[in-house]
Amino acid sequence: MKTNTPTKSKTGFTLVEMLVVLVLAIFLGIILWPANHGIMAGNLNCINNLKEIGLSLTIYADDNDGRFPLQIAATNTSLIEIIYNNHVFPRYQVASNELGNDPKILLCPFDITRRAATNFETLTDSNISYFFNADAVRNSSTNSILSGDRFLESNGRPVSSRLLVLTTNLNMSWTSGIHKSGGNVLLSDGSVQQTTSSSLPSIIRSQLLATNRLLIP
């Protein structure tokens, strides 16, 4: 007695098996798409925030002889006091007009432990997701790091809100869980680099200055 055997495709799977795999793939795609879509959209919003910040600070610098906030109208004594005050929010308050008077762009969508300020008058470091480099240089052959996500690690430990003296020999990376262990870096020409923990050190090593002082909010 002859029995019918399922016809196999060139891949070695029967038609039924291929249909089952296809259905499962579609089902998983439907389940995972909202989560992945949210991650992609959130990261895109973060990148757009930094691009707006970069454009605003570039306009500010171009109007002030190439100097970014913190580098203008300060004596040596007051400059040191400002830097070691460790606060980030005054740098952004100075450029509030260029930032469109909208402090919401200073907050990353993934920074769920913080809330956006309603205005620049009430702005504090707790309303900000992005660090500020006190030593950023405008109009240089080498793009300086100007800003970026605050979710940094130094030698495997999360960087707290403080002044971080960034040198080329520090083992810097991104914390896990934010942008999938990656992060965004804003350069002084207004461009944004999406980096991973493995690619971040190369950007740091490429800096014009061997030491950069990052103010972490």
| Residue 8 counted as domain residue | no
Total of domains in the chain: 1
Structural domain contains residue 146: yes
What is the per-residue pLDDT for 6? 56
What is the signed CA dihedral for 47, 86, 121, 114, rounded to 10 degrees? 50
Q: How confident is the model at residue 66 (pLDDT cuts 50, 70, 90)?
A: confident
Q: 143 exposed, middle or buried (CB, 10 Å; 0-12, 13-18, 19+)?
A: buried
Contact (Cβ atoms closer than 8 angstroms) between residue 181 and residue 198:
no
CB within 8 A of 94, min separation 6: which ones?
Answer: 60, 69, 70
Nearest to 93 by CA among 84, 85, 103, 83: 103
Task: Assess if residue 182 is contained within a domain.
Answer: yes
- In angstroms, the CA 120 to CA 101 distance is 7
Residue 210 falls within a domain, yes or no?
yes
Give the model's pLDDT for residue 48.
Answer: 94
Is there a domain that residue 79 lies in?
yes
Domain enclosing residue 99, as ranges: 15-215
Q: What is the pLDDT of residue 20?
A: 64
Does residue 5 belong to any structural domain of this protein? no
Q: Would you say residue 165 has pLDDT above 60?
A: yes
